[in-house]
DNA sequence: GTTCTAGAAC
DNA sequence: GTTCTAGAAC
């Protein structure tokens, strides 16, 4: 310990000289918001024998935040009165400090610096907590501000005019320094010099690498380390963990500043600007710029490369490694490449280690501008373009996060439970307040290894485990026995308006005028509210098939018939207009009862396409391509019915170029002119039906 | 699934 | 002021 507060000998040595006239000191505190500056002052002033004045910029203006000149004026007055002063403001760069140091010289007073160089994580946690609304918007903002400040920090040096500088890197250092200043009587002095400094030019490490590293280690170790680390937090680790589970948290790295060599300061400004723009929309969620080991989050932003492939830069490689092959596969399903300024939300499959161990539910890949001439598509220092792309990148990122939040608020409770079911919770379930409500539920699941039927109120919430009803026969019998006529095989309650297709399928003879084709197993008709120029339905005639959830191995032939008939009609329509492109598929959770295959042209030019749900039901994972469903039934005997309801409220993206658009009218005007080729995932494996080139 | 409409967003 | 969304009712 370099702090020399116990060197009584020295104090005694100096006493003779100093006894004549006690000399005030000016202590300039240096530290980010949340580093503990005010606490430091209060602790010293609480039991010091020396007269102190604390000059706090946050409260100098009648309890409100004031200016630097106000602080200087007040400090000068206090020193003149012979009081020692604390300068309680961040003072993180030389320029901010210099006027105060000069003040000290003018007043013949020694200037000291006490640097509270504590881990960013600690500062941010405290600074979030201080707002009184932990985890809310203020929190996100505070995190970004603290991070920016720490990026810009400039540690004090003796040559700035300080007589004494003490660096505190942890709570023990802080305690020792508080003791030293508390013990500093009116006539005492502390020795001059620089104490406790370690690797002077070290920059704050902006790395998600460390944050993710614990994924590789056994979780218990990581968890206990985390607890140990956060013991120093005033609030304690228990609260911190609980709150993280309850607050949807996006951890994001600084985009483009590493490999892509974007100027750090400009990038920080853009981060703050964009975070400020979005915090108000986030309501009960949190944004955290990552430099935070042990912080648990539900959504991670990845500073991706344009190919959306693993490898390359540190953050990208780390995330792909931690999330396993599942992330690669899931990413490929959504996009094959990314344009600078864009982002793509990828829900993590439930078998990804990042999901099972860390509860991370989504990765948002985001691509920033490239300023690195060593890499392809460098912007050659064009910061006009660079800044605008970087802004777009953050906008896309936060918009994506927002879409996750919106969908999450609609998810049934069961899903959020699943997200929260991390090993830490299992270790001590009492730490989690939700467990008072849900513990018994979870016990049942674990004890008998089967999953009960979902609540009928959870509309469309058939996740894969739930759809697979393996409940005891009594439960099953009750459901089937008491079923009303409005209920289908999956026990979803269908409103009267949702029965139209079912009635047609059961009584085609009453609907002759509406039918394009009548076959033994299927009917073909125009969708009553087409969402594109051409939009047909191939309707199964079998009773008991309400949607994909009811489809099993035995229906494989039917699915193939439906596909063949759909294909036939698509080709027929292509013959009339060869510029059309068709896609064939099912809605994961259809609104209308009775299994039906959509055959829809990809122009989406229709007045009936009016809202986000319409668009997303045909352009996200909510739309299951017929060819994929058939493959799945072949291989697994049933279709995966994941909870893809959130897809319906996802941001609006062009199905061709994947650009994001703020609302339906803007999206529609874009798709009316977008000529970009379709994404590879659609062009491959017969997902799209196009005219043969002749 | 649509329609209607309050109120949010612009 | 107008535009747009999202929730309730059907």
Q: Are A599 and A535 in contact (CB under 8 A)?
A: yes
Is the CB atom of residue A235 positioned under 7 angstroms from any atom of strand B? no
Among A82-96, A120-134, A152-166, the least confident range: A120-134
Residue linked to tokens 């499959």: A349
The full 3-state SS of A145-189, as one line of letters, equals HHHHHHHHCCCCCHHHCCCEEEEECCHHHHHHHHHHHHCCCCCCC
Is the CB atom of residue A137 positioned under 7 angstroms from any atom of strand B? no
Is the CB atom of residue A591 positioned under 7 angstroms from any atom of strand B? yes
Structure confidence by residue, pLDDT tens digits, A28-81: 999 988 888 989 999 999 989 899 999 998 888 888 888 889 999 999 999 988
CA A261 from centroid of its chain's CA atoms = 23
Domain ranges for chain A = 8-117+155-195, 208-410, 454-690
Q: Which nucleotide is nearest to A528 (CA to C1')?
A: B1
Cα separation, A128 vs A122, in Å, equals 10
What sections of A183-313 are H helices per DSSP? 208-213, 219-230, 237-246, 264-282
Is the CB atom of residue A369 positioned under 7 angstroms from any atom of strand B? no
Q: Are A125 and A240 in contact (CB under 8 A)?
A: yes
Which value, to the nearest 10 degrees, does the dihedral of the CA atoms of residues A43, A47, A53, A55 take?
Answer: 0
How sure is the predictor about A326, in pLDDT bands with cuts at 50, 70 and 90?
confident
Is the CB atom of residue A497 positioned under 7 angstroms from any atom of strand C? yes
Residue linked to tokens 């409940």: A471
Cα separation, A565 vs A596, in Å, equals 12
**pLDDT for residue A510:** 92
Angle at A462 between CA A456 and CA A464, to 5 degrees: 145
Distance between the alpha carbon (CA) of A666 and the C1' atom of C3, Å: 12
Cα separation, A187 vs A196, in Å, equals 25
Query: DSSP code of A650?
Result: S
The answer to whether A552 is a known catalytic residue is no
Given a cut of 50, whether residue A565 has pLDDT beyond it is yes
**pLDDT for residue A15:** 40
Cα separation, A343 vs A337, in Å, equals 10
**pLDDT for residue A383:** 85
Is the CB atom of residue A585 positioned under 7 angstroms from any atom of strand B? no
Is the CB atom of residue A611 positioned under 7 angstroms from any atom of strand C? yes
Distance between the alpha carbon (CA) of A34 and the C1' atom of B4, Å: 50
How much is the average pLDDT of A532-549?
96
A208-410: which CATH topology? 3.40.220
**pLDDT for residue A491:** 61
Distance between the alpha carbon (CA) of A634 and the C1' atom of B2, Å: 36
Tokens of A575: 């013959």
Q: Which nucleotide is nearest to A665 (CA to C1')?
A: C4
Cα separation, A457 vs A506, in Å, equals 27
User: What are phi and psi for residue A515, nearest 5 degrees?
Assistant: -90, 135
Q: Pick the residue with more confidence: A251 or A453?
A: A251
Distance between the alpha carbon (CA) of A483 and the C1' atom of B1, Å: 23
Given a cut of 50, whether residue A681 has pLDDT beyond it is yes
Select which of A596, A598, A655, A687 is catalytic.
A596
Cα separation, A99 vs A550, in Å, equals 75
Terminal C-alpha separation, chain A: 81
Which value, to the nearest 10 degrees, does the dihedral of the CA atoms of residues A504, A507, A513, A514 take?
Answer: 10
Provide the β-strand partners of residue A111.
A26
Cα separation, A149 vs A33, in Å, equals 9
User: What are phi and psi for residue A511, nearest 5 degrees?
Assistant: -125, 30
Distance between the alpha carbon (CA) of A504 and the C1' atom of B1, Å: 15
Cα separation, A146 vs A267, in Å, equals 14
**pLDDT for residue A551:** 95
**pLDDT for residue A284:** 66
Yes or no: domain A8-117+155-195 corresponds to CATH 3.40.50.300: yes
User: What are phi and psi for residue A288, nearest 5 degrees?
Assistant: -135, 120
Q: Which nucleotide is nearest to A661 (CA to C1')?
A: C4
DSSP A45-112: HHH-SS-EEEEETTTTBTTB---HHHHHHHHHHHHHTT-EEEEES---SHHHHHHHHHHHHHTT-EEE
CA A366 from centroid of its chain's CA atoms = 12
Beta-strand relationship, A581-587 and A652-653: unpaired
Distance between the alpha carbon (CA) of A597 and the C1' atom of C10, Å: 25
Cβ-based contacts (< 7 Å) between A 108-137 and strand C: none
Tokens of A663: 């609302």
**pLDDT for residue A618:** 96
Q: Identify the CATH number of the domain defined by range A454-690.
A: 3.30.428.10
**pLDDT for residue A290:** 67
Distance between the alpha carbon (CA) of A664 and the C1' atom of C2, Å: 16
Cα separation, A324 vs A329, in Å, equals 9
Among A114-123, A179-188, A341-350, A560-569, the least confident range: A114-123
Is the CB atom of residue A665 positioned under 7 angstroms from any atom of strand B? no
CB atoms under 10 Å from CB of A1, counted, come to: 10
Given a cut of 50, whether residue A228 has pLDDT beyond it is no
Helix (H) or strand (E) holding A537, with range, is strand A535-540
Distance between the alpha carbon (CA) of A615 and the C1' atom of C5, Å: 14
How much is the average pLDDT of A457-464?
32
Q: Which nucleotide is nearest to A652 (CA to C1')?
A: C5
CA A107 from centroid of its chain's CA atoms = 51
Structure confidence by residue, pLDDT tens digits, A288-299: 776 434 456 788
Is the CB atom of residue A495 positioned under 7 angstroms from any atom of strand C? yes
SS3 A490: coil
**pLDDT for residue A224:** 29
Query: DSSP code of A497?
Result: G
How much is the average pLDDT of A146-159?
79
Q: Which nucleotides of B are covered by protein (CB under 7 A)?
A: 1-3, 9-10
Q: Are A186 and A21 in contact (CB under 8 A)?
A: no
Identical fold at A8-117+155-195 and A208-410? no
Q: Which nucleotide is nearest to A662 (CA to C1')?
A: C4
How much is the average pLDDT of A294-308?
79
Provide the β-strand partners of residue A302.
A365
Is the CB atom of residue A529 positioned under 7 angstroms from any atom of strand B? yes
């Amino acid at each position: 310990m370099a702090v020399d507060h116990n060197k009584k000998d020295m104090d005694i040595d100096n006493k003779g000289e100093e006894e004549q006239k006690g000399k005030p000191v000016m202590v300039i505190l240096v530290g980010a918001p949340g580093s503990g500056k005010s606490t430091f002052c209060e602790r010293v002033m609480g039991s010091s024998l020396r007269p102190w004045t604390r000059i706090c910029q946050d409260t100098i203006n009648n309890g409100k935040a004031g200016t630097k000149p106000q602080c200087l004026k007040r400090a000068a007055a206090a020193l003149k009165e012979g009081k020692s002063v604390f300068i309680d403001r961040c003072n993180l760069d030389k320029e901010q400090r210099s006027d105060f140091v000069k003040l000290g010289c003018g007043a013949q007073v020694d200037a000291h610096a006490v640097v509270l160089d504590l881990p960013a994580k600690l500062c941010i946690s405290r600074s979030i907590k201080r707002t009184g609304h932990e985890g809310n918007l203020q929190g996100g903002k505070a995190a970004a501000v603290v991070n920016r400040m720490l990026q810009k920090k400039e540690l004090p040096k003796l040559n700035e005019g300080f007589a004494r500088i003490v660096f505190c890197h942890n709570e023990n250092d802080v305690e020792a320094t508080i003791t030293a200043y508390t013990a500093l009587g009116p006539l005492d002095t502390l020795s001059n010099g620089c104490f406790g400094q370690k690797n002077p030019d070290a920059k704050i490490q902006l790395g998600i690498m460390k944050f993710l590293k614990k994924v590789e280690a056994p979780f218990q170790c990581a968890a206990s380390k985390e607890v140990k680390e956060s013991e120093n937090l005033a609030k304690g680790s228990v609260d911190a963990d609980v709150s993280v589970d309850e607050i949807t948290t996006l951890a994001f790295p600084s985009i483009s500043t590493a490999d892509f060599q974007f100027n750090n300061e400009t990038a920080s400004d853009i981060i703050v600007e964009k975070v400020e723009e979005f915090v108000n929309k986030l309501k009960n969620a949190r944004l955290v710029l990552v430099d935070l080991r042990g912080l648990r989050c539900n959504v991670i932003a990845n500073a991706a490369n344009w190919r959306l492939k693993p490898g390359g830069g540190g953050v990208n490689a780390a995330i792909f490694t931690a999330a396993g092959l599942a992330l690669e596969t899931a990413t490929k399903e959504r996009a094959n490449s990314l344009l600078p300024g864009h982002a793509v939300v990828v829900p993590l499959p439930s078998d990804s280690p990042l999901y099972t161990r860390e509860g991370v539910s989504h990765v948002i890949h985001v691509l920033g501008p490239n300023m690195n001439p060593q890499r392809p598509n460098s912007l050659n220092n064009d910061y006009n373009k660079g800044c605008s792309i970087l802004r777009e990148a953050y906008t896309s990122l936060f918009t994506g996060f927002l879409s996750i939040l919106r969908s999450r608020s609609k998810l049934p409770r069961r899903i959020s439970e699943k997200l929260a079911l991390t090993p830490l919770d299992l270790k001590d379930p009492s730490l989690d307040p939700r467990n008072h409500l849900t513990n018994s539920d979870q016990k049942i699941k674990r004890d008998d290894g089967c999953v009960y039927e979902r609540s009928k109120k959870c509309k469309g919430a058939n996740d894969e485990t739930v759809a697979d009803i393996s409940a005891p026969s009594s439960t099953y019998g009750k459901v089937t026995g008491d079923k009303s006529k409005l209920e289908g095989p999956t026990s979803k309650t269908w409103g009267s308006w949702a029965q139209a297709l079912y009635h047609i399928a059961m009584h085609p003879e009453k609907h002759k005028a509406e039918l394009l084709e009548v076959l033994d197993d299927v009917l073909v008709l125009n969708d009553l509210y087409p969402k594109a120029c051409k939009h047909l339905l191939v309707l199964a005639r079998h009773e008991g098939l309400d949607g994909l959830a009811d489809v099993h191995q035995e229906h494989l032939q039917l699915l193939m018939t439906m596909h063949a008939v759909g294909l036939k009609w698509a080709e027929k329509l292509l013959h009339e207009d060869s510029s059309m492109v068709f896609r064939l598929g099912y809605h994961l959770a259809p609104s209308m009862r009775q299994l039906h295959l959509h055959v829809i042209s990809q122009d989406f030019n229709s007045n009936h396409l009016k809202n986000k749900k319409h668009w997303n039901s045909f352009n996200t994972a909510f739309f299951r391509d017929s060819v994929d469903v058939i493959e799945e039934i072949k291989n697994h005997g049933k279709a995966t019915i994941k909870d893809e309801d959130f897809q319906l409220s996802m941001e609006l993206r062009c199905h061709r170029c994947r650009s994001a658009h703020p609302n339906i009218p803007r999206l529609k005007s874009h798709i009316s002119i977008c000529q970009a080729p379709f994404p590879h995932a659609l062009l491959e494996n017969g997902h799209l039906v196009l005219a043969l080139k002749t």
